[in-house]
Amino acid sequence: MSSSNYRNNKAMIDRFRKELIAELGEIVELDKKILNQAVNEGVADIKKNTPVDTGSMRKAWRSAPAVKGVEGVKKAIVNTMDYSSYINDGHRTVNRAGETTGFVPGHRMLERGVSYINKRLASLFKAEIERIGKKYDK
């Protein structure tokens, strides 16, 4: 075994190791980055689909910070208006005697927003993995 072969192989292995560590570094934070982007877009979609009377409920949509746990990364979407669940899920109507007179169907903007987020997550992950693959696949 010649020493120049050894040096060339060692240099190639060292370069591969360095690129692999850089690629893994990008992938480690990828889930949090993609989740934040998808949820932020989803909150914008939820706000767009929220009915407006005074605008308070539309402004109250927020997303909590992403948290990494054993099961993966989680991020919550919340609305601080006390009546938001009634608008989203629907509610019954009552007369002055307290009797139910009907039901107002919900707008389901949260469920539509979560569906939108799930679709965006898939496309964002695919695009990001392809980007990383192109960057490190020489």
pLDDT tens string, the chain, 138 residues long: the values are: 556 787 888 888 888 787 777 766 666 678 888 899 999 999 999 999 999 989 899 999 999 988 888 888 889 999 999 999 999 999 999 999 999 999 999 999 999 999 999 999 999 988 988 887 787 675
pLDDT at 136: 67
Q: Which of 36, 87, 30 is nearest to 57 (CA)?
A: 87
Tell me whether residue 13 is exposed, middle or buried, using C-beta atoms within 10 angstroms of its C-beta: 0 to 12, 13 to 18, 19 or more: exposed
| Alpha carbon distance 88, 106 (integer Å) | 5
Q: Which of 34, 55, 7 is nearest to 124 (CA)?
A: 34
